[in-house]
């Protein structure tokens, strides 16, 4: 028994585009967090609380934002590859019956 696989190429490509857009937004957020850290270290929030907050932003939040952005880029590449693979398969199958 065979299974029909159907894909709305436009919607799947839109999903890949959304992954890329979200990744760029996370990278922008990471840059902004870097500016916040600079302001905190510049004296906006002084003392142990300021140091702890700046450290958490720099050492915990920013690396995790980077990891998530990289994963979204990976997902975008995977989805784009799946679309290309499906299109190639359809073209190959059609050529055998043409």
Q: What is the pLDDT along the chain (98 residues), one digit of tens a residue?
A: 677 778 889 999 999 999 999 999 999 999 999 999 999 999 888 899 999 999 999 999 999 999 999 999 999 999 999 999 988 888 888 888 87
- Measured at the alpha carbon of residue 71, what is the angle toward residues 41 and 8, in degrees to the nearest 5? 140
The answer to the question of residue 66 being in a domain is yes
- pTM, 2 dp: 0.82
The answer to the question of residue 37 being in a domain is yes
The answer to the question of residue 38 being in a domain is yes
Between CA 63 and CA 55 the distance in angstroms is 12
The answer to the question of residue 2 being in a domain is no
- Measured at the alpha carbon of residue 11, what is the angle toward residues 89 and 27, in degrees to the nearest 5? 110
Counting the structural domains of the chain, the total is 1
The answer to the question of residue 52 being in a domain is yes
Asked if 19 and 73 count as a contact pair (C-beta separation under 8 A), the reply is yes
Q: DSSP of 21-32, one letter per residue?
A: HHHHHHHHHHHH
Q: What is the residue range of 36's domain? A: 18-97
The answer to the question of residue 69 being in a domain is yes
Query: What's the pLDDT at 21?
Result: 98
The answer to the question of residue 83 being in a domain is yes
The answer to the question of residue 70 being in a domain is yes
Query: What's the pLDDT at 1?
Result: 64
């Amino acid at each position: 028994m065979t299974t029909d696989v159907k894909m709305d190429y436009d919607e799947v490509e839109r999903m890949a585009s959304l992954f890329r857009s979200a990744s760029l937004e996370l990278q922008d957020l990471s840059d902004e967090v870097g500016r916040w850290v600079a302001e905190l270290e510049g004296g906006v929030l002084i003392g142990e609380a300021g140091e702890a907050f700046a450290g958490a932003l720099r050492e915990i939040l920013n690396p995790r934002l980077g990891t998530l952005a990289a994963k979204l880029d990976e997902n975008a590449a995977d989805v784009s590859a799946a679309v290309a693979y499906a299109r190639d398969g359809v073209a190959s199958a059609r050529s055998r019956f043409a």
